[in-house]
Amino acid sequence: MEEFSTIASLRARLAKERATGRTIGLVATMGSLHAGHLSLVDAARQSSDCVILSAFVNPLQFGPHEDFARYPRDPVRDRDLAAARGVDVLFTPSAAEMYGAGSDVRVVAGEVGSRLEGAVRPGHFDGVLTVVAKLFNIIAPDIAFFGQKDIQQVILVRRMIRELDFAVRLTVVPIQREPDGLALSSRNTYLSPTERASALALSRALRAVAAEWRDGETDAGVLRARMEEILHAEPGVVVDYVVIVEPERLAPVTRAVAGIIVAVAALVGRTRLIDNVILGEAYA
Ligand code: AMP
């Protein structure tokens, strides 16, 4: 595995790949790698000749009172995990490399970016789409791999690719979970053992609702009420939202059909967790 920290050196390296017609797969991460990220690497490994993993804690997507400073960072471990999993090129730019002095131009995520996560984290998706657009321009990947875990991010990246005409294919990788159901997340390291036990209510509620839907319940109001009942029964969990929405604009639906998203965000202690299922698709 080769590692680059400057845009110019990475571009020079990738030019060689392209010259020989090799396809490039991009896995964009904020580092602190876990098995969820590595499943994206596996998917990329399967369908691209050259797998590039970026590990960059993007300051633009953190609000002023969010956890940018304490976000977990472990570059040495990341390097080992990436190399062992078959990453060809690791890209670890500094914030100064990505956003030079006076950097001010941003991608605007629009209305869909102001819903759900965007409602609680204003500007978050402008920051996400700006860094993803930069990575697409720097790397020009044939395929980009994103996790369903961050479903609103997936929807917005898909919209950006379409609306801003990026020549990139998007592959969405299912959510990787702990054996007990907890969706893997770098932020899980913030949870105390008690909080971690409480956090299981999110996946438990999603599982219960998916099971009811499979048994024939399609009334979104009923399914939502069931979710809330399970979540409110867990004292350590403060629900931010439970939504049943369509996958284009994230607008609420009244009938839950296959492809509809059930998404939840909640505070467990001071940690904000998100999780979701897509009805009709496999989930753990
Ligand atoms: P992050 O480092 O949190 O920005 O995540 C980088 C990529 O990994 C994003 O596309 C995430 O959706 C994806 N990802 C994070 N957690 C998981 C998970 N549990 N399963 C699958 N993909 C994930």
Q: What is the residue range of 190's domain? A: 186-275
Closest Cα to residue 97, out of 140, 58, 151? 58
Give the residue carrying structure tokens 């001071």. 270
Q: What is the pTM of this model?
A: 0.97
Do 17 and 158 lie in one domain? The reply is yes
Q: Would residue 232 show up in a list of annotated catalytic residues for this protein?
A: no
Q: How far is CA 75 from CA 18, 27, 45, 81, in A?
A: 28, 16, 21, 10
Given a contact cutoff of 8 angstroms between Cβ atoms, the answer to whether 255 and 220 are in contact is yes
Do 206 and 259 lie in one domain? The reply is yes
Residue 190: inside a domain, yes or no? Answer: yes
Residue 45: inside a domain, yes or no? Answer: yes
Residue 199: inside a domain, yes or no? Answer: yes
Two structure tokens written together for 26:
């991009």
Do 209 and 253 lie in one domain? The reply is yes
92 lines ligand 1 (CB under 6 A): no
Do 168 and 190 lie in one domain? The reply is no
Residue 179: inside a domain, yes or no? Answer: no
Do 142 and 203 lie in one domain? The reply is no
263 lines ligand 1 (CB under 6 A): no
Intervals of the chain under pLDDT 50: 284
CA-40 nearest atom, ligand 1: 22
Distance in angstroms (rounded) separating the CA atoms of residues 189 and 215: 35
Taking residue 91's Cβ as centre, other Cβ atoms within 10 Å add up to: 26
183 lines ligand 1 (CB under 6 A): yes
Give the residue carrying structure tokens 């471990």. 77
Residue 284: inside a domain, yes or no? Answer: no
124 lines ligand 1 (CB under 6 A): no
Given a contact cutoff of 8 angstroms between Cβ atoms, the answer to whether 141 and 168 are in contact is yes
Q: Which of 116, 140, 173 is the last residue of a domain?
A: 173
Residue 178: inside a domain, yes or no? Answer: no
Do 67 and 118 lie in one domain? The reply is yes
Do 145 and 45 lie in one domain? The reply is yes
The pLDDT score that the predictor gives to residue 283 is 66
DSSP state of 184: P
25 lines ligand 1 (CB under 6 A): no
Q: Which of 173, 206, 221 is the last residue of a domain?
A: 173
Do 205 and 81 lie in one domain? The reply is no
Two structure tokens written together for 257:
């059909």
> Total domain count for the chain?
2
Residue 180: inside a domain, yes or no? Answer: no
Atom 5 (ligand 1): residue with closest C-alpha? 29
The pLDDT score that the predictor gives to residue 282 is 75
Do 106 and 43 lie in one domain? The reply is yes
Q: What 3-state class would DSSP assign to 253?
A: coil
Which CATH number belongs to the domain containing residue 100 in this structure?
Answer: 3.40.50.620
Do 88 and 146 lie in one domain? The reply is yes
DSSP state of 52: E
Distance in angstroms (rounded) separating the CA atoms of residues 127 and 124: 5
Taking residue 192's Cβ as centre, other Cβ atoms within 10 Å add up to: 12
Distance in angstroms (rounded) separating the CA atoms of residues 159 and 153: 10
Q: What 3-state class would DSSP assign to 189?
A: helix
Q: How far is CA 48 from CA 60, 84, 138, 197, 219, in A?
A: 29, 17, 17, 38, 41
- Tell which one of 57, 61, 117, 149 to mutate to probe ligand 1, the residue whose CB is within 8 A of the most ligand atoms: 149
CA-186 nearest atom, ligand 1: 3
Residue 125: inside a domain, yes or no? Answer: yes
Given a contact cutoff of 8 angstroms between Cβ atoms, the answer to whether 125 and 109 are in contact is yes
Taking the mean position of all CA atoms in its chain, how far away is CA 151? 7
Do 6 and 125 lie in one domain? The reply is yes
Burial of 269 (0-12, 13-18, 19+ CB in 10 A): middle
Do 37 and 166 lie in one domain? The reply is yes
Distance in angstroms (rounded) separating the CA atoms of residues 226 and 205: 8
Helix (H), strand (E) at residue 147:
strand 143-147
Q: Which of 125, 145, 173 is the last residue of a domain?
A: 173
Which CATH number belongs to the domain containing residue 266 in this structure?
Answer: 3.30.1300.10
